[in-house]
């Protein structure tokens, strides 16, 4: 039986993107293949659980949807085994990933959110990155990353593209996100501009 590095399993509402406000159980893995400046994932406590223990814990909550998030789920060696176990338990399973490396079991997921990180631009030029998703969400670390956003839109085929405000030490940088939103939508040939704002609803209303 495989083991997974887990930080937490909990029930909440999806806070971002198209499924905002929908109840789900979150499986939050520990560890990541990137080290973004503002992120404290490396400080996360970690427990080691088998897929059976994870599925049993997920079943304790009254949700049929599961969001596999991190940290970075794709670095879990046996991610496919866990996703299959969750699907066998009747769950709808979504993935949240930084997208640097497409998981081999990508097709098992019902929904994929990719959050590329602008400070790792060169990593997203490699062939192993994810190229297809349901939505792309980019954190506005500065409002000077419009070219990164446009490149990610070219490299990742998705239905929706979002700009999210950065949260540092409890301060949410909305203005930066709005400035970037204007830049990425500027000169769009489409009647409906491609990028929209994704406010992290869970932080605004004070839930996990
Ligand atoms: S990709 Fe996400 S989890 Fe990984 S270091 Fe960056 S913010 Fe943290």
Is the beta carbon of 72 within 6 A of some atom in ligand 1? yes
Q: Give residue 17 CA to ligand 1 midpoint distance, Å.
A: 17
Name the residue with the closest Cα to ligand 1, atom 6.
Answer: 36
pLDDT score at 169: 81
pLDDT score at 78: 96
Rounded to the nearest angstrom, the gap between the alpha carbon of residue 118 and the centroid of all alpha carbons in its chain is 14
Q: How far apart are CA 112 and CA 96, in angstroms?
A: 6
**101 φ, ψ (degrees, to nearest 5):** -130, 120
Closest by Cα among 87, 65, 55, 54 to 19 = 65
What CATH class has 3-205? alpha beta
Is the beta carbon of 166 within 6 A of some atom in ligand 1? no
Is the beta carbon of 39 within 6 A of some atom in ligand 1? yes
User: What is the residue-averaged pLDDT of the chain?
Assistant: 94
* Every domain of the chain and the residues it spans: 3-205
Is the beta carbon of 73 within 6 A of some atom in ligand 1? no
Closest by Cα among 103, 107, 73 to 87 = 107
Residues 141, 146, 151, 155, Cα dihedral to 10° = 60
pLDDT score at 44: 78
Q: How far apart are CA 154 and CA 96, in angstroms?
A: 19
Is the beta carbon of 36 within 6 A of some atom in ligand 1? yes
Closest by Cα among 207, 199, 204 to 20 = 199
Is the beta carbon of 114 within 6 A of some atom in ligand 1? no
pLDDT score at 143: 97
pLDDT score at 39: 85
In the predicted model, residues of the chain with pLDDT beneath 50 are: none
Is the beta carbon of 41 within 6 A of some atom in ligand 1? yes
Q: Give residue 53 CA to ligand 1 midpoint distance, Å.
A: 25
Point out the ligand 1 atom lying closest to the alpha carbon of residue 39.
8
């Amino acid at each position: 039986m495989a083991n997974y590095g887990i930080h937490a399993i909990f029930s909440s509402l999806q806070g971002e993107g198209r499924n905002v406000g929908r109840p789900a159980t979150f499986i939050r893995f520990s560890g990541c293949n990137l080290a973004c400046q503002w992120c404290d994932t490396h400080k996360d406590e970690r427990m080691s659980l088998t897929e059976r223990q994870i599925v049993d814990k997920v079943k304790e909550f009254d949700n049929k949807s599961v969001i596999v998030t991190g940290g970075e789920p794709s670095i879990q060696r046996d991610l496919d085994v866990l996703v299959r176990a969750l699907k066998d338990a009747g769950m709808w399973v979504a993935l949240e990933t930084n997208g640097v490396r497409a998981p081999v079991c990508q097709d098992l997921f019902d929904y994929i959110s990719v959050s590329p990180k602008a400070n790792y631009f060169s990593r997203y030029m490699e062939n192993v990155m994810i190229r297809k998703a349901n939505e792309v969400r980019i954190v506005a670390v500065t409002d000077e990353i419009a070219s990164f956003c446009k490149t990610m839109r070219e490299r990742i085929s998705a239905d929706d593209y979002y700009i999210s405000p950065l949260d540092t030490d409890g301060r949410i940088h909305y203005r930066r996100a709005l400035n970037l939103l204007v830049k990425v939508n500027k000169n769009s040939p489409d009647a409906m501009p491609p990028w929209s704002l994704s406010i992290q609803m869970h932080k605004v209303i004070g839930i996990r």
